[in-house]
Structure 1
C-alpha cells in the first residue's frame, strides 16, 4: 500500500463519525511535505484539522509508515483551489463558478444543479445587437478540465 493511500485511510478513519466531513485529497510531495485536504458540507474548522493531524501523525509514527523526515499539513482547500469532488460541487450550488473546458473555452455562471454526469449553470449569453439573456447550460464532467468558485467582494 502506498503512503498516500494509507494516509487517506487514516484520515477517513478519524472523520468516520462526522458524515459532514470528507477527504478531498492526499499528496506526498518529494520534498517531504505531506498534505491532507479535508472539507465539509458546512465548512471545516481548525479543530477538525488538528484532530485529523494528530490522529494521522500518531499512527504514521506508531506504525513507522514513512521512513524519511516529513512535514504533515492538514487544511481545507483554499478559496482558489479547483473543485475535485462532486460533493464539493453540491456544496457550492448557487455560487458563481468559472468552468474551463478541454479546448480552453471558459464559461462563467451560477451553479444551479449537480447531476451524476455533469453540472447545470446559468450563464449570461450576449449576442451582437441583442440584450444579454440568462441561459441554463448543461456541461458534462467529461468536458470539464477545471472548475473554480468565483469570489465576489461586492
Structure 2
C-alpha cells in the first residue's frame, strides 16, 4: 500500500511544516481484520498529545475532503510520537539525533561486534560518528552509513 503511504506523506507534510513538526514515518497496515493508518510525527524536544490531536484533526479533514477518496477502505487514523526508542529512518531523524544516545546494528561485525551504543557525535552523508564508552575510557568510532542495518534512539543506563 505504498500509494496510500506516499499520498498521506504528501498531504501531511505541509500541515507539519506549518507547526514546525516533521514526519518520522507513515504506515498503512491491516491488523486483526482492520486497517490502520499510523502517522508518526516529531519535533526537537518531543511531541505532545495536544500536538498529535492537532495534526490528526487537520489530516482527517484533508483526507475526508478529497475526491476521489485516496483510501477507499475503512481505517483507523492514529497520529503519535515515534516513542522514546524510536527508529531512525530518515535524514531528519538522524539530524535530530545528533547529541543523543543511539543504538546501531550493523550488517557485518566490526571488531567482533555488530551492535554499538553511544552518543551520536557527528553525521555526514556517508558516515556517522559515535562516542562510545569502554569501561573507564571514551572514544569515537566512525561507521559507514551503508553498513548500518538499523538505528534507533536508546536510553542510556
Q: Secondary structure at the match of 2:42?
A: strand
2: CA distance between counterparts of 1:121 and 1:51? 35
- Residues 52-99 of structure 1: CA distance to partner in whole angstroms, max 9, x if unpaired? 111221122222222211000001101122111232223222332221
1:77 aligned residue (82, 87, 94): 82
CA 1:59 to 1:94, structure 2 compared with 1: closer, same or farther past 3 Å? closer
Structure 2: runs of 5 or more not aligned: none
More strand by percentage: 2
Q: Secondary structure at the match of 1:121?
A: strand
- Residues 95-125 of structure 1: CA distance to partner in whole angstroms, max 9, x if unpaired? 3222100026111222111112221011134
Structure 1: runs of 5 or more not aligned: 127-131
Aligned residues: 147
What is the TM-score with the length of structure 2 in the denominator?
A: 0.82
1:143 aligned residue (122, 136, 147): 147
Aligned-pair RMSD on alpha carbons? Answer: 2.0
The residue number in structure 1 matching 2:16 is 15
Q: Secondary structure at the match of 2:27?
A: strand
What is the TM-score with the length of structure 1 in the denominator?
A: 0.84
Q: Which runs of 4+ in 1 moved over 6 A?
A: none
